[in-house]
Amino acid sequence: MWKEENNALIANLTFENFETAMRYMQECTPAIEKASHHPEWSNVYNKVQIKLTTHDEGNTVTNKDRKLAAVLEKIYCQYL
């Protein structure tokens, strides 16, 4: 699901429809806040793109990114 490119973890997710994509994003919010690590993400209709990189570490992938990626992936798997 995740690929590493340009010093970031990237995921391109597809959902049944816009409402489901938004529900996923809302469901992820508490985990993101708890991790205090906020992704760059966007939503267009049923697609969500997520980009994780640690800005405080020079815009590179760190364990903080990998941990949050695992949580976001676990949530996404519930939608498959």
Task: Name the pLDDT band for 56 (thresholds 50, 70, 90).
Answer: confident
Q: 8-21 burial, b if ≥16 CB within 10 A, otherwise e?
A: bbbbebebeeeeeb
CA–CA separation, 55 and 30 (whole Å): 20
Q: What is the pTM of this model?
A: 0.93
Please say if the pLDDT value at position 48 is more than 90.
yes
Q: Please state which CATH class domain 3-77 belongs to.
A: alpha beta
Domain boundaries, the chain: 3-77
Residue 51 pLDDT: 98
pLDDT per residue over 5-22, tens digit each? 999 999 999 999 999 999
